[in-house]
Amino acid sequence: MSTLEQVLEQYPDDVKVVFKNFPLRKHKIAKKAAVAALAAGRQGKFWEFHDRLFDMYNNLDESLFTIIAAELMLNAEQFAKDMADPLLRKHVTRDFADGRKIGVRGTPTVFINGRKLKNRSIEGFQKAIEKELKKSGEKKREVKKLDTNSN
């Protein structure tokens, strides 16, 4: 089980994952791979496709996209149509630009409530999440105090 899966299992009501594409420029096919994963996502298989791509990141080529799509039993015609959709390319370009603005330099990069997580171990996640939950709890108590004082 991945660290992220462990975090989601431990904090099912407190953690939300927001995935952004950041295809590294040194990988000539990275942007196409990101589009392929989004195309698979339109058929409900984003994470499965994404994980397969990351497993083979050193050997990526476009022929693998159709192989993975077939293995995941995607509708091949729809997958090809979605791969050509300019909206998916724009989505990846926008994600990349957003990442650059906030200082992303490589993948994976993790942020928790806008703060870059340096220690991506399970313990690092737990410490950062607990710190944010504590802040959130303090804010709720402060609001509650304000409410009781106003009566």
Please indicate, yes or no, whether the overall pTM of this predicted structure exceeds 0.85. Answer: no
CA distance 22 to 35: 11
Amino acid at 131: K
Residue 25 pLDDT class (50, 70, 90 cuts): confident
Per residue in 73-113, pLDDT tens? Answer: 999 999 999 999 999 999 999 999 999 999 999 888 999 99
pLDDT given at position 146: 46
More confident residue, 147 or 102: 102
Distance between start and end Cα atoms, the chain: 50
Residue 16 reports pLDDT greater than 80: yes
| Token pair belonging to 102 | 């906030």
CA distance 91 to 33: 13
How is the chain split into domains, by residue range? 17-109
> Which of 33, 31, 28, 147 lies closest to 94, judged by CA?
31
Per residue in 26-41, pLDDT tens? Answer: 888 999 999 999 999 9
Which CATH number is 17-109's, of 3.40.50.150, 3.40.30.10, 3.10.20.30, 2.30.30.280? 3.40.30.10
Average pLDDT over residues 44-71: 92
Q: How confident is the prediction for the chain on average, in pLDDT?
A: 88
Residue 56 reports pLDDT greater than 90: no
